[in-house]
Structure formats: structure tokens, C-alpha cells
Chains A and B, each alone.
Chain A
């Protein structure tokens, strides 16, 4: 678990820098929330279906998504599982039961309930899991999802990353309730609040919640308290609306990765040498992964027209042919790194 948390931290730092250097167009970090990501992921089964917001790549990482795959998606190259269709950090993998990230806030909440209902009908030993932030609990979809889950008896885990900020809106301006756990209780959903920066606490909370959800056909809400150390995204500069001291305090003194490290080291399961080796190795890996992703071609032109429908319709086939003809005729007007097929 610790290794994965460090990997997530290193990956985030390097991708963020890559965006700043203009190598990728956009990025969203998970700094400060590694414990929620990895702790919860470790407590789930591989067959549990994940509906994330966009700050949970650690769950995908835990399940086996490689650094190269993350990079391929951010670069939108021909190896991107998303075929260059989505913005960076909108990862998805059918194989790993992690649905492609969708930007609108909280839409994944009722969707997860729907999927959970399906799992219940199929009598599968699996649950649906959905993640969202404190801001997401204000959306209408959150209300609908919670209400339905309770009424339908759907085996779904609602994991709220209460990180204190929704872009520039602090929780004091987001809601006046006593946090998020109480909202769950209002719907008749068993709820718990945990220290989101304690990886082991998150692990055990999710483990127990999952058991209840699957065995008793009930939804569970977990409010994990944490702090969003990074900016909302690379399009944001959070020093504009919060004090740099506050950010630094949480980044250094309340780092969930360092906290687990202290615990491991105090039990002599880890030491400084291991730490340095790990981080160095990761940096080298990331550099090569970035370089690899950058050098690959972009997806071919046909990817523009496929997957709109299950079977490509005639009008799109015609448009594709027309486009290929024009690009073939005026190749200098089009980017040279986009293959024509």
C-alpha cells in the first residue's frame, strides 16, 4: 500500500511539471489524498465497479493500470485506451472495472446506484463504489443517488473525499450541515466519518462497509476528511484564495504518505534507504514513461468517426472518406503526426 501511495505522489508531481512545461495540456493532482485513494482501493475486490469523479487515479493504479498507460492517456497517443477522445486524467478501463472518468460533477452518483442495482439483480458478490468531493454533495444528483440507493437497497459505497475545497469554495460556503456523514443519515443510509489521511483507517472502514453493502444489500456512506494540497487543477492557482501557509502546513505536517512512512519505519518495516531507492527508481521510470508516450503517434483519423454508435452509420463513413480525401490532397495543412488511417 505504501509503495503505491509513493508512486501516486511521484506520478502526480512529474505529470504536473510536464503540464507546466507544455508537454501535456492539462492535469489534476491527488496530492494530499493518497491515503483515500490507495486505502480504499486496497479494501475493494477487483470485481467491484468503480465510478470515480477525477481525483482517484490511485484506485486505478492499485488495480494494475501502469504508469505507461496513465501517460498514454494524458498524451492522447495511439496507445491511449481512450483513443484520444477525452481530456487528460479521464482514464477508464473495462478490464479493471473502472469506468471512464466523466467531468460533470456527481453524475456518477446515481449511475453507481444503477449499476449496483444491476449487481443485486444478478446476485453478484460485488458492489458499486462511487467517489466524489465535498462539493459534489451539493449537486441534485447526490440527493437522487442517496435517496434511490436507500429505497432500492442497492449495494453501493459512497466515498466522499471531504478535502475542504471545491475549486475556491471552502466547505463553510458549500453547505451548513455538520459535514457530509449527517447527510447520509438523513436519507436512511448508514454513514461513517473517518480520518482520510490515515490509510489504515480508510482501509478498515471501506473493508467493513463493503461487507455490509454486499451481504445486507444496503448503501453505505463514508466521509473521509482530508485536504486538497494541490490546486484544483493545472488551470487553477489556489494561492489566490487560500493562504500559502495553510497549504504548506498540510503538505508537510499532515502528509498522509509521510504518516504511513513514520508508522512503517517505527515498526522497522521500512527505512530511509528503501525510501530513497524507491523514489529514485520511480523518477527514472516516470521519465522514460513520459518520453515513451511523447514519442508515439497520435491515434489515426478513423478514430474521429468511430464509437459514436455501436456500428458506424453511413453518414459518418461518408464524412470520413471526404475528410481523408481532403487531407490527402492538402497534406501540408494538417498535422504530420496524425496518421490517415
Chain B
């Protein structure tokens, strides 16, 4: 399992096929490591923690607010050590009122502070969504540029494991449709660091969709990524794996699934290009279209519900701009159109699995009949 992870991670770092062939001959992770320029590994959790730490050190206007972020070190330990380092003025444990502390965060952003508002999950942010949309997203526009809202809303999004309907919804599509918001979703530790730093520095409100399952996953990070000045651009997707036969788009946890599917498909002679969206809004339509014009086939992957989903938007973008380049209908893989069930077997069937991605790619490559 760990070896597989390394493969995926190395491919993500160095897309050349040569390196992948060399590393496939190695047996142990430690010797693999000697082939990487990046000697260090970092979990997504530590990546987020270090990003917040560095930005709070660099700018005294940045502060963190949310339930359990202080004394408890964070519900998922993302804010570990921060209360001890920065004190209760800058790391605020809040009473249980999402609507309240979101409104307060937005108000303080109106004043000129740079709040990071943590939601225990984005499901609970629905209690505060009026403030996210009506008070944050629309305000710069409605005030004619007089009031800017440099706020970051962050927390776990989407399915976890066995937490059922009210803890598993993916909000990428809802927030992604709202003008005035920027919406980001990291996959790797590098994504987590670079995108969160960019979000904190951005003058517009940013919704930062993390993933609980990814918090504990480790990824190699280069010295550049570890530098406090490291930042990734908002609105740029990343080609995690270069390919020639089909483009697969994904974000967050599904990027890992897509990469694994790509390995399986490689053995069957299908060369998959995996795009890690990184940014839901603005969507990097240029990179996606450029890729589809190269491969001529598209499969979109997401955990959220199908209707009005991210895949629907990507499909339309490609149909609008690259229709003549498509050799097959666009396939979209999404979560099932049901509230998330609890029973483990049902839950497994309600979210995309690697096999689903493999089958969809084969359909797109006309290797199997439609509908299989």
C-alpha cells in the first residue's frame, strides 16, 4: 500500500515515464526515496498547519477562529500548537454558532482583519451559508469595491468514512457556482500548502475545501514547497500525470483514485492524462481544453452529486470550446444521486471507486460498449 502511494506521488512529481520505470524495480520505500530529489515527506495535516503558522507569523492581521481550534488543537488537529504559539487573541475557540462566528469573521474582514474561519465540516457551514454568500461573496460587488472581504472559509468537505448523510456532502458545485467567491480544493501536501497560503493572502473571500481522509496521507515535498514564501497560483490546474489517450479531471481525494486507475489502465495500453483541478472557481478551462484537444477524450470524476456538478460544468466548457476535438462523448463519474447512506456496503456503492473510473475510461476509449 505504501509502495503504491509512493508510485502515485512520484508520478505526480516527475511525469517522465523513465523515472517511473526505474522506481518500479525498487522494493522498499527507503531506497525509492534516494531516487527522489525531495527527501522530505509531509502529511496534508502538517502542510495545512505549517501554512497557517507561517501566514500568521508573517501578517499580524491573520487570525484563526472556529470550534475546538485552540485548546483542543483542532477537531482534526490541523491547528495543533497554534494557540500555544500565537495566544488566545489570534486563535479563537468559538461557541457553537456557525452563523454567528461566520458573521463575526466577515465583519472583522470588512474592518480589515484577515480571518481564517474553520468549519468542523462544510456540512455545518450550511448554517452559515447566508453569511458566506450574502455577506462575503457579494459584498465587494454590492459596495462597489468599497468593502473587500479577505476571508478564508476552510474545513473538511465531501465523504469521509461511515459518517452518513449529514456529514458527507460535497459542496464544490454549490460554492463553485457563486460569483464573488474563489473555491479551492487541494489534493497533495504541496497543494495544501501552496493553495492555503494563496487563499490567506487573497483579498477576495475563498472557500477552501479539504478532505478528512487525506489529512493523514503523506506526500513528498521539495525544499521549494517547504519555503515560507511558497505559494501556488489560484485558477491553475496541475497535470499530475501526462498522457496521450484520454483526459481525466478530478479534485481532492479523487485525484488519488484517478492516478491509481491510470496505473491499472497503463497495463492495458491506455495512456491516461490526469488533471488535478486544484481550483474549482476559477476553473482552469484553458488547461482542461488544451488537454482534451490533445487526447480527444474526457472523463470527469467527482464524489459529489451528479446534477449541476463540477463534471457538468467541465463537460459544457469542453463542448463549447473544443467540440470538434472530441472523439467520444464525455463521461462523468459522480457520487450516487442519494443522501449518503451509512452501511459500509451501501456507502461504498454511493461513491466512485477506482473500478468505476477504469470502466469509464474504457467506455470513452471505445474499448467497451456504452453503458458497461
Contacts and interface: CB of A to CB of B under 8 A. Distances in A.
Query: Do A and B interact with each other, yes or no?
Result: yes
Interface stretch (A22-30, A110-118, A330-338): A110-118
B111 A307 contact: no
A92 B95 CA distance: 31
A109 interface: yes
Interface stretch (A3-11, A53-61, A138-146, A176-184): A138-146
Interface string B273-300: 0000000001001000000000000000
Contacts of A314: 282
Contacts of A113: 103-104, 107
B97 interface: yes
B157 to A, nearest CB: 22
A118 B108 contact: yes
B147 interface: yes
A119 B106 CA distance: 14
A306 B146 contact: no
Interface in A294-322: 303, 306-310, 313-315
Interface string B16-46: 0000000000000000000000000000000
A315 B282 contact: yes
Contact of A309 (B92, B95, B102, B180): B180
A107 B135 contact: yes
A114 B106 contact: yes
B110 A102 contact: no
A110 B107 contact: yes
A148 interface: yes
Contacts of B182: 309
Contact of A308 (B97, B109, B180): B180
Contacts, number: 145
A141 B146 contact: no
Interface residues of A, number: 48
A63 to B, nearest CB: 15
B116 to A, nearest CB: 13
Interface in A30-84: 49, 51, 80-83
Contacts of A262: none
Contacts of A315: 282, 285
B141 interface: yes
Q: Which of B89, B104, B111, B143 has the most CB of A within 10 A?
A: B104
Contacts of B147: 92, 94, 99-100
Contact of B108 (A83, A94, A117): A117
A85 B142 contact: yes
Contact of A107 (B130, B146, B148, B235): B130
B103 A144 contact: yes
Interface of B: 89, 92, 94-95, 97, 99-113, 115, 130-131, 134-135, 139-148, 179-180, 182, 202-204, 235, 282, 285
15 contacts: A82-B144, A94-B147, A99-B110, A102-B139, A110-B104, A110-B131, A114-B108, A115-B111, A121-B89, A128-B111, A144-B100, A306-B145, A308-B140, A309-B182, A315-B285
